[in-house]
Amino acid sequence: RKRLESAAVHVLVAEDNKVNQKIMLAMLKRAGVRVTVVSDGREAVRLLCEQDDGELHQSLDVLLFDDWMPHLTGVQALSRVRAHERAHGWRELPAIICTANAGATEYAEYMKQGLTDALFKPVKAQSLYSMLWKYGVGASAC
């Protein structure tokens, strides 16, 4: 198991299923990633858009949102986060949706909605690590 080069990689995970939270947290910690976990899209929006003065946003490298969550879906939450980023002149964080909808049509629709990429459930550790390498470490190294 290869650890990511930078322990400074910080991921915000929004996932309502407690079992999936634990699995995701275990995989991310195994890779040496710093993780902040929230239980739904509304909590993610509250954390990033209402409580954050920019410090948390600047510390994050990747947003990892479940597709279907109560209160706000991952896409709805991201829409609010993107509006907040634009309003404050902040960089767009890479946003990855975790979904069971694995079709090409769904993938294209996610990209139109402002997502950066998608991981298909069940999420495999190697797929997650490749995605983090692509968006987390690469973005941090620039």
Q: Pairing between strand 117-120 and 62-66?
A: unpaired
**How many Å apart are CA 45 and CA 111, to the nearest integer?**
19
Tens digit of pLDDT per residue, the chain (142 long)? 444 555 578 999 999 999 999 999 999 988 888 999 999 999 999 999 988 788 888 889 999 999 988 889 999 999 999 999 999 999 999 999 998 876 777 878 888 888 899 898 889 999 998 888 888 664 443 3
Alpha-helical runs (H) found in the chain: 18-30, 41-45, 55-59, 74-88, 104-112, 125-132, 138-141
The dihedral over CA atoms of 17, 23, 29, 30, expressed in degrees to the nearest 10, equals -170
Q: What is this structure's pTM?
A: 0.87
The dihedral over CA atoms of 128, 72, 53, 56, expressed in degrees to the nearest 10, equals -20
Phi-psi region of 112 (alpha: psi -120 to 50; beta: other; left: phi over 0): alpha
